[in-house]
């Protein structure tokens, strides 16, 4: 199968207009120029005292930011993921597995993968400021600036400086993503192809956003309790509730399920937020005595 040499993408601009951009794999000349840019940035970084990844690793170990314990923890998580994957897809040969049990294994894999990402997050963030990363970023920026074209063949950017000035706009972001997929075989559907998600998709246990769903297609949590798009618990009528089924208002406050009374037993009228905003100074109804004669005597005195 021939490798993809270019990719055409449609970009929606901030004003709603659409523009088509063609991203091509870099030529040898462009690649050579990009490597020289990277080498210069590397030299500048070393001269300015910016750490290499090797130096960063030594400092992180010395400061306890990444030690043998964390390395061991990383290895254990990876090993757990491998065991869970085999358990999910192989299990005991010839045996059966309830879908509920398989769903739990897949969800356990999701949890382990989050643990791994959290463990590596600090190290990855710090590595982004090393000489190697800054050099590689400069190289990639040059490639994007010279590999993005309009349909008529004209360059989207006339220079690296112009690309850097516009690197936050939709065209730059989309062009960079497309080039990364072309050059590094990055899969935009990476999450869908994780083993736990592949099973959940095939078993119709998740929706297109990879959120867990029940038989009716409603979003649920790991315990099959219904939730909305914001992850809030809801009942069968889509009303907000807490984890135990108690009703909540739109702001997440409990809705009273009992009647409040004055000392004389008369019910207290609770104002809703709209009534309170319309008439904030409205006085509360005064308490009245159950004995009219006693109330008259108190008034006369």
The answer to whether residues 151 and 291 belong to one domain is no
Alpha-carbon gap, residue 105 to 111, rounded angstroms: 10
- Does residue 200 carry a pLDDT above 60? yes
Give the residue among 143, 148, 159 at the shortest CA–CA distance from 33: 143
pLDDT the model gives residue 1: 46
* pLDDT confidence bin for 141, thresholds 50/70/90: very high
> Which has more confidence, 291 or 183?
183
The predicted structure's pLDDT at residue 286 = 53
Query: Does 116 map to a domain?
Result: no
Reported as a single tens digit per residue, the pLDDT across 289-300 is 555 555 555 545
The CATH number given to whatever domain includes residue 137 is 3.30.2220
Please tell me whether residues 41 and 134 are part of one structural domain. Answer: yes
Is the confidence at residue 189, as pLDDT, over 90?
A: no
* Predicted confidence band of residue 282 (pLDDT cuts 50, 70, 90): low
Judged against a pLDDT cut of 80, whether residue 31 lies above it is answered with yes
β partners of residue 22: 8, 149
C-alpha angle 135-139-142 in degrees, rounded to nearest 5: 140
Residue 148 sits at φ, ψ, to 5 deg, of -105, 125
Residues 175 and 272 in one domain: no
Instruction: Give the mean pLDDT of 125-138.
Output: 95
Instruction: Provide DSSP, 118-178.
Output: HHHHHHHHHHTTSHHHHHHHHHHHHHHHHHEEETTS-BS-SSHHHHHHTTTSHHHHHHHHH
Query: Would you state the pLDDT for residue 273?
Result: 59
Cβ partners under 8 Å of residue 120, min gap 6: 74
- 3-state secondary structure (DSSP) of residue 282: coil
Same domain, 138 and 174: yes
Q: Is the pLDDT assigned to residue 187 strictly greater than 90?
A: no
What predicted TM-score, i.e. pTM, was given to this entire model? 0.68
pLDDT in tens, 142-181: 999 999 999 999 999 999 999 999 989 999 999 999 999 9
Residues 165 and 301 in one domain: no
pLDDT score of 234 more than 50? yes
Top-confidence residue, 24 or 271: 24
193 falls within a domain: no
122 occurs within a structural domain: no
Asked if residue 295 belongs to a domain, the reply is yes
Residues 240 and 151 in one domain: no
Domain count, the chain: 3
Q: Using pLDDT thresholds of 50, 70 and 90, give the confidence band for residue 274.
A: low
Average pLDDT over residues 250-256: 91
Q: How many residues does the chain have?
A: 301
Question: Which range of residues forms the domain containing residue 34?
Answer: 6-50+130-186
Least confident of 26-40, 55-69, 275-289: 275-289
* Average pLDDT, integer, range 268-287: 61
21 and 168 both lie in a single domain? yes
What is the token pair recorded at 153? 């063949």
Residue of 21, 263, 253 whose CA lies nearest to 156: 21
Q: What is the pLDDT of residues 202-222, one digit of tens each?
A: 999 999 999 999 999 999 998
Mean pLDDT in residue range 256-274: 85
113 vs 270: CA distance, rounded Å = 48
In the sheet with 18-24, reading across from the earlier edge strand, the strands are: 6-12, 18-24, 148-150
Place of tokens 């009303």: 239
Q: Which residue has the higher pLDDT, 239 or 281?
A: 239
Assess if residue 95 is contained within a domain.
Answer: no
DSSP 188-219: TTTGGGSHHHHHHHHTT-B-TT--BB-TTS-B
Domain match, 11 and 31 both: yes
Say which residue, 187 or 298, is predicted with more confidence: 187
Nearest Cα residue to 24 out of 156, 138, 136 = 156
Is 18 in the same domain as 165? Answer: yes
Burial 94-124 (b: 16+ CB within 10 A, else e): eeeeeeeebbebbbbbbebbebbeeeeeebe
């Amino acid at each position: 199968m021939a490798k993809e040499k270019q990719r055409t993408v449609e970009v929606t601009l901030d004003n709603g207009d659409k523009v088509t951009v063609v991203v091509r794999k870099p030529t040898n000349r462009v690649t050579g120029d990009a490597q020289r840019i990277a080498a210069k940035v590397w030299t500048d970084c070393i001269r300015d005292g910016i750490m290499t990844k090797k130096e960063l690793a030594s400092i992180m170990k010395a400061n306890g930011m990444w030690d043998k314990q964390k390395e061991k923890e990383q290895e254990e998580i990876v090993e757990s993921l491998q065991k869970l994957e085999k358990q999910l897809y192989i299990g005991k040969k010839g045996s059966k597995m309830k879908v509920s049990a398989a769903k739990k294994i897949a969800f356990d894999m999701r949890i382990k993968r989050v643990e791994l990402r959290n463990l590596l997050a600090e190290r990855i963030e710090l590595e982004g400021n090393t000489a190697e990363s800054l050099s590689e970023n400069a190289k990639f920026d040059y490639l994007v600036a010279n590999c993005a074209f309009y349909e008529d063949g004209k360059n989207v950017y006339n220079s690296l400086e112009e690309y850097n000035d516009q690197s936050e706009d939709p065209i730059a972001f989309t062009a960079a993503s497309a080039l990364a997929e072309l050059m590094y075989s990055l899969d935009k559907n990476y999450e869908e192809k994780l083993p736990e998600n592949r099973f959940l998709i095939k078993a119709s246990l998740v929706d297109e956003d990879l959120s867990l769903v029940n038989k009716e297609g409603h979003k649920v949590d790991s315990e099959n309790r219904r939730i909305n798009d914001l992850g809030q618990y809801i009942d069968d009528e889509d009303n907000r509730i807490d984890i135990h089924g108690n009703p909540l208002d739109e702001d997440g406050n409990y809705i009273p399920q009992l009647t409040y009374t004055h000392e004389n037993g008369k019910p207290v009228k609770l104002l809703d937020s709209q009534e309170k905003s319309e008439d904030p100074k409205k006085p509360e109804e005064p308490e009245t005595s159950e004995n009219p004669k006693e109330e008259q005597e108190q008034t006369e005195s």
